[in-house]
Chain A
């Protein structure tokens, strides 16, 4: 019997994945272990290997399609075996479904006898992207609109008193074409309009195909202008945008800035580098690792900072799950190192390196990317010579520490000024959770920890 390959569920928080690449095509012979396709979540990429030998009988999706997890992707079996029964339902409905342009044409020419369902419902209904918010909508039309991803504000009602009735939504659905799950969700949110046919399988309209919709302004915000080019955001970009925006909209953030004498940490770094080069250490412990180590120690004394602010309650952590901002090609990622307070400097360094590498490779466990996974985050821009900045909290965390570059600053040493390397620390905190005094004391504590690090390497 033919075997179906489904879209795996990568972590609890993942609802759908995008096929990045099919490595096989229909008719190919595959062996167990062969890679079938690559796919990605918003923040990671994965590959799916074949579990068995056989021939690719069917592939139900196209590259770039967003596919709900656990949905059937392809079928592997022996040539001649049936596979239609595995075809995802939404797609079976699509197959053979008349395209909107065709049905509208024939409806206009119809004599009124023996017409198909599609023609019947479209008759007398002129789907246009009209502003119609507030028009009465029949319960059935409302339900259909939700199912088919039709925004009733864009539908003209043909029922009694201008009521939007089922046939109006059906016609609109037909006109906007088959939508992917993502596209439906976008349509429901409003502000976009379907082009009718998209770049997905069998002309399915994908999220990316949707056009920005403005009532009575249905043409072209997307595309080329003489002075600009409109480029769509990537999914990941949109996700970051959403969470950053949410963070600033939904919390009370401010930043304290403080310099820490970096002589000790630089000396430690020197020692560590030497040990690594001489092979006494298998990991190259970086300044950031030392800073993180110091932050973890400080957090142990400030439970209010090592926390999530839940609006009307605080989630105080008994351990430190440290989030680390990682810059990747696809954008910013913040993986968590769990139970970082239980680690010595070497295992901490190793763990931080691993999550950063996983992010860059795209193989990070998506659950570790959830903002809920970390209790506090460190973002280090020191390597880019940024001195001070105002990092944005990854809600619901209560704070984030921005680590800047090290610059020499005058300091009174033994009665005379001399230049001493200082590390710039920028601590953004949620004033809902933490008051200024406590924030200052915490930041000072971090500086002290950095200044007084005593580690045997």
Chain B
């Protein structure tokens, strides 16, 4: 809601034009012959033959995999590949045409059916990379391990030929889960990629690349990196939220209206729809979609209709022509763009798909139009190559393919990870655990020195502890609070790391719905802090793309309850790519998530447990200003995805625990260390989130009325989690209540309880008790006390389950009998 954009009722209510005019979207307009292309100088005969070769490389690669899956071997050499194989035979012209104009600096993202695209892009990079660079890159990859096998029997002197072997072997070894594969075998068929060739992750979640690729484009733009980004998606993926949200994000007007200087202009993102006619078993045109052609979608997103175009994906030259024109557009900052490439997949969705939804007649008709066959005919007709020459190309491709196949299935040359012997190997790959001040080389772009920032000045006048020098409570206006702690860590990083960007639904002028960012607008140019569309999948998805390209990013999810809107991004994308890449990619994304209360069932849920359940995420939930600043500093210093929860109950609290208040300078609190907020000897309270303050009240009552001293520990971080302090506490007290605002059933609280039971069994005087919220909808604010754990619940639990308190009358029902009854009812 920038004030510079005046919403003029006169114009809005009485527009000059009374209909929306859509630009025309070209369909199948390419009509050049091979001879004409040669005449125009777009290709040499060698180029044209190489296109043929590249297409055949893909065809043979997919044929090999298909034979392995369906006949258990290739060329008589048996191998079993139980993993997936989503083959793209039939789509070769589309893949090669897509890659033909791309430089190594241009990135491609793909789908589960992207073998063709990675091979095409790889072959293209091998063709254009200087030989020395190519050789160096291969020699350095996995310390030369992949090249050593791929080039084992190669006697020729050509670096490019060696490069082709390297590409085929690396991809096959990856698909067959070998450590010499491009991602150590951890990505597999649906995720194979190789960033040195500009090949970024393919995604097994349909449409997953739709927002991630947009983030990669954002990275290129913000950090002034060369190149464009291509997202290869299927026609079926155009139904997916991440694609539509990613397109929405990429279409934002602000790139052209508000971003300043050289930042003005569209994102360099090109969506390439591989329209192979089928989405699983559904037929997109005529059955499961209504767009008729995927190209039509562009019209819904911006006045340029994404410069959309539908082209003949059975003619590589038509595809090349379209990509050449779109790339030029993007380089002029006139993106985004969309190309809808008509193609057809010969195989089913996967080898188990018997194509029962289509006729043999249809398949035969497309095979008669086969893109390799057809293109070969054109080359012969144009006199570029004789049929014998094309046959020779095929024969030589087959030879190399077979050779690489035999190497890739060799258990000795291409071993798998031994996760039985080395039990922790994959575990150690889940996080990168690096400590890096800045990921950029540039000077961070800011609007003024930090000291001149109005918010920084305001905080300077605040008391950094909740009591003043005389021990009197500081007024809320003068007290340094939780949001100041988060702000200080973030503003500090903005002035250190040029790559850092932050965005969310109200991040700029508003300063975030909870005013954490107030003052950042003054400090930062638009391209480092901006408002995003209300599109959580795009907010997180683009952050993932931004981070995997090398930038640091803080996306914001305004309410924890909205995590579901970006479920795939949080659960399937963010946590996975570091390990799935074999640790090639880093994921420095700090997702700020605000946990609400007062706002009812869809705005008051604590979903920390959902995040702890997903391997690969770090989960942090500070509840004091000191912890907020220290943990945010650590999160931003690291290279791992961190879900950073903040409680809306606590933005205004002052620091009550850290002696001397919140330090002015930079400090880090390591992730994973719980903190003892109050010492005691009779019972331990471990809390997650804002429950800490209610636990402290319970501890007060316990002390006053029953003379029992509770040790109150704030988990602070959920993943990772160091149990040592907790074990020491439980050994001392023998009793523990684990409390948090998440609904009790299935929550992380139970994990902690189970672990403590195992680790401290002989020291326990009672089973650990979990106090979570009820398994209900969160009721309205006035009724919340019955839902969230209250101080009295702690005493109730002690009385009922640990040690009866003399004369105590329970408030809530914390008995096992009631627990059984509720469980029976599912509540």
Interface residues of A (CB under 8 A from B): 112-115, 117, 120, 123-124, 138-143, 158-160, 163, 165-167
Contact = CB atoms under 8 A, between A and B. Distances in A.
B806 A123 contact: yes
Nearest to A116: B707
A167 B708 CA distance: 12
B148 interface: no
Contact of A138 (B704, B705, B766, B806): B766
Contacts of B800: 160
B764 A160 contact: no
B706 interface: yes
Interface of B: 681-682, 704-708, 734, 761-766, 800-804, 806
B707 A120 contact: yes
Given A112-B707, A120-B707, A165 B762 contact: no
B704 A139 contact: no
- Residue of B704, B706, B766, B801 ringed by the most chain A CB atoms within 10 A: B766
Contacts of B804: 124, 158-160
B467 to A, nearest CB: 24
B283 to A, nearest CB: 64
Contacts of A165: 765-766, 802-803
B683 to A, nearest CB: 11
A158 B766 CA distance: 12
A140 B762 contact: yes
A169 to B, nearest CB: 9
A113 B802 contact: no
A120 B761 CA distance: 24
Given A112-B705, A115-B707, A140-B764, A124 B802 contact: no
Contacts, number: 54
B762 A139 contact: yes
A143 B762 contact: yes
Contacts of B682: 120
A160 B801 contact: yes
B397 to A, nearest CB: 69
A138 B765 contact: yes
B711 to A, nearest CB: 15
Contact of B704 (A113, A124, A160, A163): A113
B218 to A, nearest CB: 55
Contacts of B734: 138, 140, 166
A285 B806 CA distance: 78
Contacts of A114: 707
B706 A112 contact: yes
Q: Main secondary structure on chain B at its contact with chain A?
A: loop
B803 A159 contact: yes
6 contacts: A120-B708, A138-B764, A158-B803, A160-B766, A160-B803, A165-B803
Nearest to A117: B681
Contacts of A143: 762-763
Contacts of B764: 138-140
A140 B802 contact: no
Nearest to A169: B765
A303 B705 CA distance: 76
A418 to B, nearest CB: 78
Contact of B803 (A112, A115, A139, A167): A167
- Residue of A112, A120, A123, A140 ringed by the most chain B CB atoms within 10 A: A140
B794 to A, nearest CB: 16
A202 to B, nearest CB: 25
A163 B800 CA distance: 12
A290 B347 CA distance: 105
A114 B806 CA distance: 16
Contact of B761 (A123, A139, A167): A139
A165 B705 CA distance: 21
Contacts of B803: 158-160, 165, 167
Contacts of A163: 766
Contacts of A120: 682, 707-708
- Residue of A117, A158, A160, A167 ringed by the most chain B CB atoms within 10 A: A160
Contacts of A117: 681
Contacts of B802: 159-160, 165
B765 A166 contact: yes
Given A140-B762, A160-B802, 4 more contacts: A117-B681, A138-B734, A139-B763, A139-B764
A113 B708 CA distance: 10
Nearest to A164: B765
Nearest to B801: A160
Nearest to A166: B765
The 9 closest A-B pairs by CB, nearest first: A140-B765, A140-B734, A166-B765, A138-B765, A139-B762, A165-B765, A124-B806, A120-B707, A115-B707
Contacts of A166: 734, 765
Nearest to A167: B803
A158 B763 CA distance: 18
Nearest to A137: B765
Contacts of B705: 112
A140 B801 CA distance: 15
Contacts of A160: 766, 800-804
B765 to A, nearest CB: 4
Contacts of A123: 806
A124 B804 CA distance: 10
A204 to B, nearest CB: 25
Contacts of A141: 765
Nearest to A119: B707
Contacts of B706: 112
A163 B766 CA distance: 9
Contacts of A159: 765-766, 802-804
A71 to B, nearest CB: 26
A139 B766 CA distance: 8
- Residue of B706, B708, B734, B806 ringed by the most chain A CB atoms within 10 A: B734
- Residue of A158, A163, A166 ringed by the most chain B CB atoms within 10 A: A166
A119 B705 CA distance: 14
A134 to B, nearest CB: 19
B84 to A, nearest CB: 48
A436 B763 CA distance: 56
Nearest to B757: A139
A113 B707 contact: yes
A234 B681 CA distance: 43
Nearest to A111: B707
A93 to B, nearest CB: 16
Nearest to B815: A160
A141 B761 CA distance: 11
B707 A140 contact: no
Contacts of B762: 139-140, 142-143
Contacts of B704: 113
Contacts of B761: 139
A298 B764 CA distance: 62
Nearest to B767: A138
Contacts of A112: 705-707
Nearest to B734: A140
A305 to B, nearest CB: 49
Contacts of A115: 707
Contacts of B681: 117
A156 to B, nearest CB: 13
Contacts of A158: 803-804
A258 to B, nearest CB: 59
Nearest to A161: B816
Contacts of B708: 120
A160 B764 CA distance: 14
